[in-house]
Amino acid sequence: MKISMNGIYKNYGKKEVLKDVSLTMGNGVYGLLGPNGAGKTTLIRILAGVVHSTKGQVLIDGTDREANTEMFRSKVGYLPQDVNFYNDFTGLEYLQYVASLKGLPDSKAAQKIEALADKVGLSGDLSRRCVTYSGGMKRRLGIAQALLNDPELLILDEPTAGLDPSERIKFRNIVSAFSKDKTVLLSTHIVSDVDNIAREVVMIQDGQVSDMQTSKHFIARVNGKVWNATMKADDLLEFQKHAVISNVIPMGNEMEVRVISDVKPHEKAVCVEPNLEDVYLYMYNYKGGKAA
Amino acid sequence: MKLFRFELRKLLLNKRTLIISAVLLALYCVVGVGLSISSFGGLANYSTYNELANAVTGPYNAEQAELSNIAYDAAKERWGTDEGVSKMSSQDPQLKFDKAYHDYANTVYEYWNGPILGQDMDNITGIYPLQQRLGELEAAGSAGTYDYQRYSAQLETELAAGEPEFQNVALWESLFGVWGGIMAVILLFFPLSFIIAPVFTSENTTGMDNIILSSKKGQGQIVAAKVGAVSVTCAITALLYFAGTFIGTFLPFGTLTGASMPIRSVLTASQISMSIGSFAALTVVWTIFVAIVYGAVLTLISSKLKSQTATFGIGILILLGNVMVSALGTTVNDALSIFTDFGFINTANASAIFGGLTTFDVFGSVVPYYMMALIVLLTAGAIALLGVRISQKYRTVA
């Protein structure tokens, strides 16, 4: 499946939330990275078809989505950022309801629910009411509903929010396994969510997106701009006022500080290998040679 | 079908609505018991009234009428007004019977001579005034007019029905008092508004709109499922209302006396010939129909708004539209007569729709109120359904 978003604009009143956004995705996991309020959720919602763009087109395998919206929706799985499940429904009823919405026959729905519940680790909890689920369980239930119709396009909006580290890893594994011959768009502000599994990443800020690139490509952009420096804790307090710091590790009486900077930020600083998190910080927190 | 079952589960078969329904059923029973018991002041009084009424059930009894008129006049002199007599008669079965027979005697008089308090020249009633008016119209060469047609039909119906007979139907009168108008709106339609309002707005509140609208059946079949669930909810809530008030009215007395009597014993102007029991069944069916149409209208509002409170509020405004328009004076009232004639307070009152003399002039033809109400409500319902369908097609989460 090839999905293209061409020249997407979205205005809310006079506020321009998305400006001329164009993306193309094939199979694999695509990461949509950006800070809160950058326009990620709006872009995701337009792709999912739950918000109309002010201008622009979404093409599925070269055909305008509007030509057959029902067929498009039958190929989509969507996990929104915030969903509160129906208080009276059990996990099983909830999945059965979504299966009905997706038009799955009963027998197929039962098989899928059983398999997905096992996959997301909810097999023993499906008879419990959703309202009693923990945040992580609700998220896993959300992922299960998104996968019910074997979607060709899986859209995940901040899927790991509220998950603990082990659940986050489990989630990444599920998405990775699923994405072999499918398209997954994963929107997040948590860099590690996409660092390991995304085939390509697109950065979004103030409603505009960067080119779609591999993580390596983005990382190459900040080569020579990531530094490690060792300094005393008191010096760090003053230093961090003017620097973008991506990590601090206490080393006895001193601190090892990872810094993003165009120039050598400290006399003891040494240049180190960057990662995607550094790119994120460089793009969103480092403006005009100083911390934004 | 499965989607419909889930929508029904969300709207009706959930803890919140089931508790509300149980409370409503109890309330309806209490209202029925309260009105019937208070109307007689207790079981012993009803028993006495029963004996008095059963003794003269049947054709007009001039002797009894004279006795009852004397008793009524004396009571009125003592208590000041007709309302005062009514109030006091609830404690006095003899007075209640005398008042009932006095009212019946007036009905017989009005059957022949028209209203005691003066004739409304636009809506003439009474055998003699009708015959006179028809004669005048014939003399004026207006035999083909709308007025001539409706007065002819009215006269024919009145003559066929014959002079009213006295029947022991006090409990049914009490029941029909609850089964229509403002009582039905407050007891049935207000709670219905509360139960139905979340049908679409809750999807917005929970964020489920995202999943519904992005799913295969989330813009088409979901509408049928939700409207179906709303309709069943309306029907079940209405049935609870009728069952509760019916049980409450009759259970304390353990009798359905009068059920087989003609409906004209309760609704003296009724142009429909059927028994009280049949009319009660008709009232149930009609009110369920009106509730379903109202449910469709409220579903449309729910699909357009994101707030359950706002949906509920607008629903209440629609229900009370008649009252508000009426309060704006005759000119406005006449200009907006479609809202006053076919607003939910009126249409939810089967006694007014089927039990009165109101007719409409449609291109010179006489169309009875119930027929016009049926057409208007079906049209309103169809527009609401179409509106929900379109609304959901273009609905977004933002």
Tokens 């989607």 found at: B3
Which residues, 6 or more positions from B375, have their beta carbon under 8 angstroms from its beta carbon? none
Same domain, yes or no, for B79 and B126?
Answer: yes
Exposed, middle or buried, B19 (CB in 10 Å: 0-12/13-18/19+)? exposed
- CA-based torsion, B115, B119, B122, B128: positive or negative: positive
What is the Cα Rg of chain A in Å?
21
Residue B329 has pLDDT above 80, yes or no: no
Q: pLDDT category, A167, cuts 50, 70, 90?
A: confident
At CA B311, angle to CA B309 and CA B315, rounded to 5?
115
Which residues, 6 or more positions from B16, have their beta carbon under 8 angstroms from its beta carbon? A88
CA A142 to chain B, closest CA, distance in angstroms equals 10
Q: Please state the separation of Cα B334 from the chain's center in Å.
A: 22
Q: What's the confidence (pLDDT) of residue A286? A: 64
Same domain, yes or no, for B103 and B224?
Answer: no
Share of chain A above pLDDT 90, in %: 50
Task: Tell if the CB–CB gap between A100 and B3 is shorter than 8 Å.
Answer: yes
Contact with chain A for residue B6, Cβ under 8 A: yes
Same domain, yes or no, for B146 and B174?
Answer: no
Residue B12 has pLDDT above 90, yes or no: yes
Domain of B176 in residue numbering reads as 2-37+169-393
Q: Within 13 Å, how many C-alpha atoms sit on residue B347's CB side?
A: 31
Q: pLDDT category, A287, cuts 50, 70, 90?
A: low
Question: B118's torsion region: left (phi>0), alpha (psi -120 to 50) or beta?
Answer: left
Tokens of B58: 């049947």
Segment (H or E) for A57: strand A55-60
Task: Tell if the CB–CB gap between B217 and A78 is shorter than 8 Å.
Answer: no
Q: List residues bridging with A125 in a β-sheet.
A: none
On whether the CB atoms of residues B166 and B101 are closer than 8 A, the answer is yes
Give CA–CA dist A43/A32, Å, rounded: 10
Helices in B305-349 by DSSP H: which ranges? 308-319, 321-326, 330-335, 337-342, 344-347
Tokens 């505009």 found at: A208
On whether the CB atoms of residues A17 and A39 are closer than 8 A, the answer is yes
On whether the CB atoms of residues B395 and A45 are closer than 8 A, the answer is no
Q: List residues bridging with A18 in a β-sheet.
A: A10
Residue B398 lies inside a defined structural domain of this protein: no
Give CA–CA dist B23/B310, Å, rounded: 24
Instruction: Give the mean pLDDT of A160-168.
Output: 82
Residue B75 has pLDDT above 80, yes or no: yes
On whether the CB atoms of residues A4 and A160 are closer than 8 A, the answer is no
Same domain, yes or no, for B137 and B32?
Answer: no
pTM for this entry: 0.88
Residue B89 lies inside a defined structural domain of this protein: yes
Helices in B142-260 by DSSP H: which ranges? 146-161, 170-178, 181-184, 190-196, 198-206, 208-213, 221-250
Which residues, 6 or more positions from B69, have their beta carbon under 8 angstroms from its beta carbon? B102, B105
Which residues, 6 or more positions from B103, have their beta carbon under 8 angstroms from its beta carbon? none
Contact with chain A for residue B213, Cβ under 8 A: yes
* Pairing status of strand A208-209 against strand A200-205: antiparallel
Task: Tell if the CB–CB gap between B211 and A98 is shorter than 8 Å.
Answer: yes
Same domain, yes or no, for B143 and B274?
Answer: no
Contact with chain B for residue A131, Cβ under 8 A: no
Q: pLDDT category, B381, cuts 50, 70, 90?
A: very high
On whether the CB atoms of residues B71 and B95 are closer than 8 A, the answer is yes
What's the farthest any 2 CA atoms get from each other in chain B?
78
Residue B326 has pLDDT above 60, yes or no: yes
Output the CA–CA distances (angstroms, integers) from residue B303 to B203, B318, B393, in the order listed.
Answer: 10, 16, 10
Identify the three-state secondary structure at position A281.
helix
Q: What's the confidence (pLDDT) of residue A289? A: 47
Segment (H or E) for B127: helix B127-139
Which residues, 6 or more positions from B320, have their beta carbon under 8 angstroms from its beta carbon? B185, B345
Q: What's the confidence (pLDDT) of residue B216? A: 93
Q: Which chain B residues are within 8 Å of A80, Cβ to Cβ? A: 207, 210-211
Residue A146 has pLDDT above 90, yes or no: yes
Give phi and psi for B116, each to the nearest 5. Answer: -60, -40
Identify the three-state secondary structure at position B221.
helix
On whether the CB atoms of residues B168 and B257 are closer than 8 A, the answer is yes
Same domain, yes or no, for B227 and B98?
Answer: no
Tokens 């990531």 found at: A226
Tokens 């307070």 found at: B345
Best CA proximity match to B234, nearest among B285, B274, B158, B275: B285
Same domain, yes or no, for B92 and B197?
Answer: no
Give CA–CA dist B228/B11, Å, rounded: 11
Nearest to B216 among A50, A73, A89 (CB): A73
The tens digit of pLDDT for each residue in A71-93 reads 899 999 999 988 888 989 999 99
**DSSP secondary structure string, A224-268?**
T-EEEEEEEHHHHHHHTTTSEEEEEEEETTEEEEEEE-SS--STT
Same domain, yes or no, for B9 and B70?
Answer: no
Residue B50 lies inside a defined structural domain of this protein: no
Contact with chain B for residue A63, Cβ under 8 A: no
Contact with chain A for residue B144, Cβ under 8 A: no
Contact with chain B for residue A80, Cβ under 8 A: yes
Q: What's the confidence (pLDDT) of residue B337? A: 77
Best CA proximity match to B337, nearest among B385, B382, B372: B372
Q: pLDDT category, B230, cuts 50, 70, 90?
A: very high
Weakest mean pLDDT among A35-39, B124-128, B270-274, B335-339: B335-339
Identify the three-state secondary structure at position B58.
strand
Tokens of A32: 């949509």
Q: List residues bridging with A231 in a β-sheet.
A: A255
Q: Considering only residues 32 to 51 of chain A, which have any Cβ-Cβ distance to chain B shorter than 8 Å? A: 42, 45, 48-51
Identify the three-state secondary structure at position B162.
coil
On whether the CB atoms of residues A148 and A104 are closer than 8 A, the answer is yes
Residue B327 has pLDDT above 80, yes or no: no
CA A88 to chain B, closest CA, distance in angstroms equals 6
Q: Which chain B residues are within 8 Å of A88, Cβ to Cβ? A: 9-10, 14-16
Residue B363 lies inside a defined structural domain of this protein: yes
Instruction: Give the mean pLDDT of B123-133.
Output: 95
Residue B356 lies inside a defined structural domain of this protein: yes
Same domain, yes or no, for B110 and B256?
Answer: no
Nearest to A83 among B208, B215, B394 (CB): B208
Count of domains in chain B? 2
> What count of CB pairs under 8 Å joins A to B?
93
Residue B198 lies inside a defined structural domain of this protein: yes
Among A52, A97, A187, most B C-beta atoms within 10 A, so best to mutate, is A97
Contact with chain A for residue B207, Cβ under 8 A: yes
Instruction: Fill in the DSSP letter of residue A159.
Output: T
Give the residue on A whose Cα is nearest the Cα of B395: A50
Same domain, yes or no, for B335 and B232?
Answer: yes
Instruction: Give the mean pLDDT of B374-379.
Output: 96
The tens digit of pLDDT for each residue in B86-105 reads 889 988 999 999 999 999 99
Same domain, yes or no, for B28 and B107?
Answer: no
Contact with chain B for residue A88, Cβ under 8 A: yes
Average pLDDT over all residues of chain B: 93
On whether the CB atoms of residues A109 and A148 are closer than 8 A, the answer is yes
Task: Tell if the CB–CB gap between B214 and A12 is shorter than 8 Å.
Answer: no
Task: Tell if the CB–CB gap between A51 and B396 is shorter than 8 Å.
Answer: yes
Give CA–CA dist B391/A268, Å, rounded: 64
Q: Of B161, B188, B214, which residue sits at a domain end?
A: B161
Interface predicted TM-score of the whole assembly (ipTM), two decimals: 0.88
Q: Of B124, B144, B161, which residue sits at a domain end?
A: B161
Residue B136 lies inside a defined structural domain of this protein: yes
Q: Which chain A residues are within 8 Å of B3, Cβ to Cβ? A: 97, 100-101
Q: Of B161, B179, B209, which residue sits at a domain end?
A: B161
Give CA–CA dist B241/B290, Å, rounded: 14
Instruction: Give exposure, B126-147, as e/b (b: 16+ Cβ within 10 Å).
Output: bbebbeebbeebeeeeeeeebb
Give the residue on A whose Cα is nearest the Cα of B211: A78
Task: Tell if the CB–CB gap between A83 and B14 is shorter than 8 Å.
Answer: no
Same domain, yes or no, for B280 and B178?
Answer: yes
- Domains of chain A by range and CATH? 3-214 (3.40.50.300), 220-291 (no CATH)
Residue B108 lies inside a defined structural domain of this protein: yes
Q: What's the confidence (pLDDT) of residue B330? A: 77
Task: Tell if the CB–CB gap between B397 and A51 is shorter than 8 Å.
Answer: yes
